[in-house]
Structure 1
Amino acid sequence: MTVEVNKAQTITHHAGVLVCGMIFRGRPRVAPRLHRLSLNNGEESRVFTVLRKVPMLDDIRWEFGSRRYLSLEQFVTEVSRVNKSAWPHDEIVMNNPKVAFEYSALISSLDELLPCEYLAHADAVLRPDPTADGLFSVDIRAEIMATNRTSFSAGELLWIAHSLQANKRLGDHPRFAGFEIADEHSGVPAVTITTAA
């Protein structure tokens, strides 16, 4: 099915399901339905594949914290222990060499940002969050290359998400709630790290 819509409507209507030139695999709760979607912004028409209702690792139990895991194997072992079972950590979930992670956190200064991180909004102003002891609530973006330079496994994706947030505070939302597919920026797909209380 090909549908002509403008980009703003597509992102609003299909939030979390737009797949920009990549393949998502996993254990969906419902069978995914593949559709062809043509985005037409007036000058350029692009075709994307859309997967509907495909959760990204939202069935994995994990709580982000300050502990650092020096290897993927060490991290996978700990996630398996927390979940009391093996999980499909080696399954390829993103067939793309580079991904932009997007997430919210509390920081005390810009010095806490890692070299690969920057504020998601260029015009962002650091305003203290009144409920977080003077910390700044920010939206962060980090572009990361896959270890094998071709794709990301489920384990690598979650390990990177944990590592990026290990030196930051997440307030009362430290629990991993899955990944959501976001918009594509400069040809790099964006994945939002969602958290819960």
Structure 2
Amino acid sequence: MKIISFISRKGGTGKTTNAINLATSLHAAGKKVMLVETDTNYTLNTLRKMEAARESGTSSFDIVGSQDNNIADELQSIREKAQYDYIIVDSAGKTTDEGIKKLCLVSNAVIVPTSLTQNDLLVTYQTVTDLMPAKSINTDLKILVLPNRIHSFTRLKTVQETLSKVSAKVLEVMVPQKNAYVNFSTMHPEQEYTPVMKEILKNL
């Protein structure tokens, strides 16, 4: 079982969008998936209930709610039962929170989504810096930067050059700036996300 956590120092970087797109893509690929959201608004849970009411009988995966200060211990318990291939965590807290530090210690990979705006880049550099100490304890931890909301005319080389000073692995794929990734479903995968899923899995 692999635990993939989406973490960033601030909101609005694309954690939730990418977490749900990765989960739906993995489920469509035949994997047993659980998605955990730690935002206490539990938006994904609410959306799932609405979709399930409209589409009863459609195959879906588990979405559960938790909190950042509890999630690490809960994941340890879930891991022991070995019911899932992947657990995706959409975290809400800041990287300095104790719960997020513990989450890094039980995760196989942490994904930091970022656009190329100056503000997001600064947040990404700081997020990666905050997360690096976890690697000295969880030596198998992968810290991956996911280029997100990238203009379709932007070349991958440009993205990599822009993110070259980040002290983490920059994934060789881009999530484009499209409405399809914003207006997501908790039950239906976005087909264009498949290359992103494959690139993430390749780096686990």
Structure number with larger C-alpha Rg: 1
More strand by percentage: 1
The interval holding the TM-score normalised by the smaller chain is: under 0.3
- Please identify which structure carries the higher helix content: 2
Report the TM-score, using the length of structure 1 for normalisation.
0.26
